[in-house]
Amino acid sequence: MKKTYFWLLSSLFVGAFTFVSCSSDDDEDGGNTPVETPDPVNYEKTGGEGTITLGDGSTVNVTVPKLSNENVNGVFIVDNELSLELYYDTEENGKYGYKSCNLSISDYSTKKTVYNDVEFYFSESGYDNGGTYYTHTISSVNNDSRAAAATNKVTVTQEKDGSIHFLIEGDVAVSTGQQLAEGEPNGTISMEFVMPLAASGACTTNVSSKQSSYPSFTPWLGKKVDGVLQITKSQLVGSAVLLWYYDMSLGYSDYENLKAQAIKALGNPVVCYDKSEGQDPGMDWEDMCYSYFYKDNKFIMVSYCPWRQEEDPAYYNLPCNAYALKENHVARIQVHAIEGMNFDYNALIQAHR
């Protein structure tokens, strides 16, 4: 069997953030929350490799590539969930494919290192040297009635610089064609790799006042924020906060209010799509619009998505996971404020969906 190479990259940030829950009773006059700063990413130690052994004794090589400072990928930890997620396109000699991965641990704790029956999925498609299109998938086979005896063990340890070391062992379902392996175990995996700690933090809801632990330039409406994700530890940024306003009464003027605050803090937007830029002047802006700002390693995103129909936030699943930093239309109005960015802000803008 041909060697198969899988990239295990996570969503938006390399490294992990430590999110600390913030109370809505805090105010702007309170003391600043200390921000933990792990060591810089040692890109040479990232990545890794593994081997899949199939039932007939043949093997499939799995490669997790090293990252670089041009990446914004890594481990994302929010509350008690650890996640790595990525989907990205590839291009080689004019031929296109994709790579994707997903790994999640819902009961993650820094006090626990071994987890059983972890869900993961690796996929790669493209063209081989002969120009033939192929698809490969490797997935866990737990929680499937036809594979009740299947199991895996994932060992997660944090290294001194803050990076996360993974060791995956156990049963897998492997497919080398267009069809998935239907959840049936047909191989075993032994795979070891290191990923940076991209983000760690906590989600809070119904925050009524701007917290002193947020970046000082964070735009604020002065209204209740339905969902907040605060980042306080990272190898890529100093601190960050994501705000989600689900209030259906908010409109374009509220977006303009936030945008004006961002302009005052960081100057004119580096990327903007709204009626103030002379784009589609006859449009009533019932579609989404957005503005991005960057100056002196500080970053702001403000977006408005009027077609987003929200439920009561008590029932709404806040996107507090590895995709959180990639989203610019998950809520009616969103604000991202990031301080101490040490990578190209364009990589973050391009990642937004």
Helix ranges restricted to H, the chain: 252-266, 345-351
pLDDT over threshold 90, residue 186 = no
pLDDT value for 218:
98
pLDDT over threshold 50, residue 1 = no
Which secondary structure element, helix H or strand E, spans residue 150, and what is its range?
none
pLDDT value for 282:
64
Domain with 303 in it: 201-351
pLDDT value for 153:
93
| Residue 23: band (very low, low, confident or very high) from pLDDT cuts 50, 70, 90 | very low
Same domain, yes or no, for 145 and 172? yes
pLDDT over threshold 80, residue 338 = yes
> 64-76, pLDDT tens digit by residue?
777 776 666 788 8
> Mean per-residue pLDDT for 205-212?
92
| Residue 19: band (very low, low, confident or very high) from pLDDT cuts 50, 70, 90 | very low
Which of 135, 120, 132, 125 has the alpha carbon at shortest distance from 180?
135
Domain count, the chain: 2
The DSSP result for 23-69, as a single string, is -TT--TTSPPPP-B-PPPP-GGG-EEEEEEEETTS-EEEEEE----T
Same domain, yes or no, for 171 and 212? no
pLDDT value for 197:
82
Angle, alpha carbons 122-123-129 (nearest 5°):
130
Q: Is residue 161 part of a domain?
A: yes
CA pair distance 62, 148, nearest whole angstrom: 25
> 229-274, pLDDT tens digit by residue?
998 788 778 889 999 998 889 999 999 999 999 999 999 999 998 8
Same domain, yes or no, for 221 and 310? yes
Same domain, yes or no, for 226 and 175? no
Of 198, 215, 232, which marks where a domain is finished? 198
Among 51-60, 84-93, 153-162, 296-305, whose mean pLDDT is lowest?
84-93
pLDDT over threshold 70, residue 119 = yes
- The pair of three-digit structure tokens given for residue 32, joined into one six-digit string: 């600043």
CB 314 within 8 A of CB 236: no
CA pair distance 126, 132, nearest whole angstrom: 8
pLDDT over threshold 60, residue 217 = yes
CB 307 within 8 A of CB 286: yes
pLDDT over threshold 80, residue 327 = no
**First vs last Cα of the chain: how many Å apart?**
36
Same domain, yes or no, for 143 and 65? yes
pTM > 0.85: yes or no: no
> 128-161, pLDDT tens digit by residue?
777 888 787 888 875 554 455 668 999 999 988 8
